[in-house]
Amino acid sequence: MTRQELKEQVEHDQFTDAITGAVDYARAHREQLIRWAGIAIAVLVVAGLVFWYLSYKNSERQQDLQNAFQVLEAPVGPANPATPWAKSFLTQDAKTKASIKAFSDVVAKDGGSRQGLIAQYYRGTLEAQNGSNSAAESDLNAVANTSSECAPLAKIALAQVYAGENKIAQARGLLQEIVNKPTDLVSKAQAQILLARLDETTNPQQAQKLLNSLRTPNQDPAVTRALDQISSQMR
């Protein structure tokens, strides 16, 4: 290949042409490229700020929920002189009321979020324990009708409230929903055991039949122990 041929090949090399074209385009559209580069950087900055803000708010909601749990887990009795800063309550009633208020604060501030729904579930169970069935039904029903991790637990708690009010059909309906669609927190077998417990006084034969159907060779030991305990109570 002669020097002239080599020169012509280099002059028309595709890579070289592409680089030259890009440089020429950049020169001709310098202001436009600068503007788009600025927009791209701004978008990245905004995205970073949004991610930081969401992470911050989630941490804040988590702390709100943790504060409420500290009230719920506080001991009942005189304050310990060795730890005067530790929260305690003189009576269980005072602790229950304070816990309901603490979870209510989380619901009011973080309602609809994961932490808010957990707080609403706990408030509902406390209301049920305190005899406020109407308020408990409202809270537990609201959580049960979501796709949150607490939904099956709320259904179980609500079923217990309904059973206490002799609303057996409604209680069975909630438990059957879990049987049909179990979760990691509540398995199908666990929901069926609760159904058997619900039926043990009104339909003991059906309850025993259901319990017997759950006895399998590879059954979870915890489920087997629960079956044995319930069966002995039904004899």
**Count of the separate structural domains present in the chain:** 1
Place of tokens 């929920």: 65
- Residue 193 within any structural domain of the chain: no
Q: Taking CA 194 as the corner, what is the angle to CA 188 and CA 198, rounded to the nearest 5 degrees? A: 140
Domain contains 103:
yes
Domain presence at residue 12: no
Position 182 in a domain: no
pLDDT < 70 regions, the chain: 1-54, 56, 81-85, 219, 222, 224, 226-235
Interval 54-88: pLDDT, tens? 576 788 999 999 999 999 999 988 877 666 657 88
Residue 74 burial by CB count (10 A; 0-12/13-18/19+): exposed, middle or buried? Answer: middle
Residue with tokens 């305690």: 88
Res 3: pLDDT: 44
Is residue 183 in a domain? no
Per-residue pLDDT, 35: 61
- Whether residue 145 lies inside any domain: the answer is yes
What confidence tens digit (pLDDT) does each residue in 174-187 have? 999 999 999 988 88
Instruction: Write down the pLDDT at residue 141.
Output: 96
Which pLDDT score is estimated for 161? 95
The answer as to whether 229 is a domain residue is no
* Relative orientation angle of helices 30-72 and 114-129, to the nearest 10 degrees: 20
Question: CB–CB of 121/157 below 8 Å?
Answer: yes
Write b or e for each residue in 28-61: b if 16 or more Cβ atoms lie within 10 A of its Cβ, otherwise e. Answer: eeeeeeeeeeeeeeeeeeeeeeeeeeeeeeeeeb
Does residue 216 lie in a domain region? no
Q: State which residues form the domain around 145.
A: 63-73+88-157
Q: What is the per-residue pLDDT for 172?
A: 93
CA–CA separation, 223 and 214 (whole Å): 9
